[in-house]
């Protein structure tokens, strides 16, 4: 079945620094990937849709300059949290949709970001 690998699983960074999170589809090509954010005991909030070879589409209220998304290949999308602040601490999850439409939506295991 489809597998999405997300890395790192946990990261602690200092305020003001940037953090990059990678999302890879391991055995399928993903033209579209999605990035979500989840607060404790809350549901997933869609941040942006990442399309291979084009600019990401951000949801209302999500700062595109703060959360940089790059989808350079059919198997890799990255989310960079720039100039991180403690309020950016959260659980970030990516998901990918198979280009052929065979697998539906597969999620990564998430990245716990803590900004100190």
Cα-based torsion angle of the residue sequence 85, 86, 91, 94 in order, rounded to the nearest 10 degrees? 0
Token pair 């979500």 in the structure block, residue: 36
Site for other proteins in 10-49 (CB under 8 A): 32, 34, 36, 42-44, 46, 49
Residues 23 and 97: beta-carbon distance below 8 Å: no
The helix/strand/coil state of 85 is: coil
5 part of the interface to other proteins, by CB under 8 A:
no
91 part of the interface to other proteins, by CB under 8 A:
yes
Nearer to other proteins, 11 or 107 (CB): 107
Q: In the set 76, 110, 113, 115, which binds other proteins (CB under 8 A)?
A: 110
């Amino acid at each position: 079945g489809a597998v999405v690998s997300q890395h790192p699983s946990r990261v602690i960074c200092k305020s003001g620094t940037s953090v990059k999170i990678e999302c890879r589809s391991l055995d399928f090509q993903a033209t579209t990937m999605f990035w979500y954010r989840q607060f404790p005991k809350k549901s997933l909030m869609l941040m942006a849709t990442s399309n291979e070879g084009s600019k990401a589409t951000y949801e209302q209220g999500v700062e595109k300059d703060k959360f940089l998304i790059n989808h350079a290949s059919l198997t890799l999308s990255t989310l960079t949290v720039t100039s991180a602040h403690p309020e950016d601490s959260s659980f970030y999850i990516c998901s990918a949709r198979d280009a052929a439409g065979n697998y539906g939506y597969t999620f990564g295991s998430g990245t716990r970001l803590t900004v100190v």
